[in-house]
Chain A
Amino acid sequence: MIKLLYFALLRERVGVPEESLSLPPDVKDVGTLLAWLREQSPNHAAALCDPNMVRVAVNQDYAALTDPVRAGDEVALFPPVTGG
């Protein structure tokens, strides 16, 4: 299982703030995780359709598409940040 967190506009589009999912064996990194998530529901697809609007953090550090994702990880998906 991995824990997924969604924030801001992505949270509203997916419809839940977090969920725990079991990953299929072929999902090994951030890129394959995003592709798999888009197939989970029309809401997921709408939230994640534009790669430029999605940032990913694995265990609270920014992650690239090639970074690994493993069972037990906390993976957060959110739009580009606008603090300060």
Chain B
Amino acid sequence: MAAEAKPGNSKRSGPEIRVQAEDFDPGQELQRLTQDDTGIGAVVSFVGLVRDFADQKSDSSMTLEHYPGMTERQIMAIAEQAWQRWPLNGCLVVHRHGRLLPGDRIVLVIAASPHRKAAFEACEFLIDWLKTKAPFWKLEQSGAMREWVESRGSDDDAAARWNK
């Protein structure tokens, strides 16, 4: 699912996305994405973590359900949009699913570009749209408490401003 090759010294032909249960290593991913391309002058990464919603209770967890197939398709569509909109040399999205604990990494977004403005903007665009389009649902559990997280209007607003 790679985009068309770009002119210049970009070594990568399109964004890369992964949906997985396993953890990821942000430093290793960043190194891998940037190591063969000296045209990159700026790389911006975002890592989302499981926040402890139950105030330090030791048994709290978050389970991420997803829609296999559609999840990959929607994330790739968003990543392709970012690839078209900004001059990116590299773009990576990794999103986990399954049962996670407070402090665990959930999502990684990396955008690499010759200059910082494009890298910052593309990274923010990706996480904003991912939150409103990628079919994931968070279930929070702690003791007897079991609750599906409700979506937030502020996330829709954050994504919508990129349409201006």
Residue from B64, B70, B134, B148 in contact with A9 in the complex, judged by beta carbons closer than 8 Å: B148
Give the number of chain B interface residues (Cβ < 8 Å): 28
Tell me whether A83 and B135 are in contact in the complex, defined as CB-CB below 8 angstroms, given that A60-B70, A60-B73, A78-B67 are known contacts: yes
| Residue pair A80, B130 in contact (C-beta under 8 Å) | no
- Binding-face segment, B4-12, B25-33, B136-144: B136-144
Q: Mark B95-133, 1 if CB is under 8 A from A, else 0.
A: 100000000001100000000000000000001001111
| Residue pair B127, A8 in contact (C-beta under 8 Å) | no
| Residue pair A81, B48 in contact (C-beta under 8 Å) | no
| Residue pair B151, A80 in contact (C-beta under 8 Å) | yes
| Residue pair B151, A84 in contact (C-beta under 8 Å) | no
Interface residues on A, range: 10 to 19
Q: Which residue of B lies closest to A8 (CB)?
A: B137
Residue from B48, B73, B135, B138 in contact with A78 in the complex, judged by beta carbons closer than 8 Å: B135
Q: Which residue of B lies closest to A12 (CB)?
A: B148
6 A-B contacts, Cβ less than 8 Å apart? A60-B67, A61-B73, A81-B135, A82-B151, A83-B107, A84-B131
Which residues of A approach B to under 8 Å, CB–CB? 5, 7-9, 57, 60-62, 76, 78-84
